[in-house]
A and B are shown apart, each in its own frame.
Chain A
Amino acid sequence: MSEIEIKLPSDPKFLKIIRGGISHISEICGFSSEESNAVTSAVDEAASNIIKHTYNGAKNKLIIVNFRILEDRLEIVLRDFGEKVDPETIKSRDLNEIRPGGLGVHLIKSTMDVVNYDNSFEVGNQLTMAKYLPGKKEK
């Protein structure tokens, strides 16, 4: 297993660092350009959601992102220490409804094979996402 960890403040100006990291790691994992773009988008949306909803726009809070290249999958874990989010309330929006906002969760769920929200920590939340490596997806 290879693991890379990035710790960064919850300031939107640092999102590009996360995107740069995941884009490069996706390439290393052998994902196509299209898959790599989609994974990058999913991780960026997840981090943006932490900034917007968990930290309510505060720029000086901590976000920890772990990228793990496992035997069969690329796993990304985002940890925050903000307001607890009820996983039941995190839903993709109805795409027939044309309105600004609410697309982030849809972009995450439509790209990643595993999306698991965990708010059982004493403080904060953890989102674990994974995408199976090319040719490794479970039948």
Chain B
Amino acid sequence: MLDVKTKSQDSIAIIEIDGEVDLYSSPALRKALLEMTKAQNKAILVDLARVKYMDSSGVATLVEALQQVSKYEGKLKLANLRDAVKNVFELSRLDKVFDIYESIEDAKKSF
């Protein structure tokens, strides 16, 4: 199962995901992200350190959230992508669309 935790630090809404994001589990991620975008969180940071696998439905969920955030001029950033997940973003050419950081600290400083 996918474990999705949310917390707030320095006015940044951080979402920590643990597990594999696929067609089965991506609705849980979508629900958490939609709650954040409905609340119009201006700064959302997705920590992917514990995500070993992400399929296109997971990527689509993040794209949808990015589009929602841009509607109210917020920011959504990604951090700690493992190689397998990074490859999916690169193959989809979405590594140029998302702001991706090597660490949570780097991402937090960028807001």
Contact = CB atoms under 8 A, between A and B. Distances in A.
- Determine the main DSSP class of B at the interface with A: helix
Given A15-B22, A16-B20, A37 B87 contact: yes
Interface residues of A, number: 29
Interface in A75-105: 95, 98-104
A123 to B, nearest CB: 23
A103 B56 contact: yes
Contacts of B94: 98
B23 A12 contact: yes
Nearest to B82: A37
A107 B92 contact: yes
Interface stretch (A40-48, A112-120, A124-132): A40-48
Contacts, number: 70
Interface residues of B, number: 23
Interface of B: 20, 22-24, 53, 55-57, 59-61, 63-64, 67, 83-84, 87-88, 91-94, 97
11 contacts: A16-B20, A33-B83, A37-B84, A37-B87, A44-B22, A48-B55, A95-B93, A99-B63, A100-B67, A103-B56, A111-B91
Given A15-B23, A99-B63, A101-B56, 12 more contacts: A11-B24, A19-B20, A33-B83, A37-B84, A41-B87, A48-B55, A51-B23, A98-B63, A100-B60, A100-B67, A104-B55, A111-B91
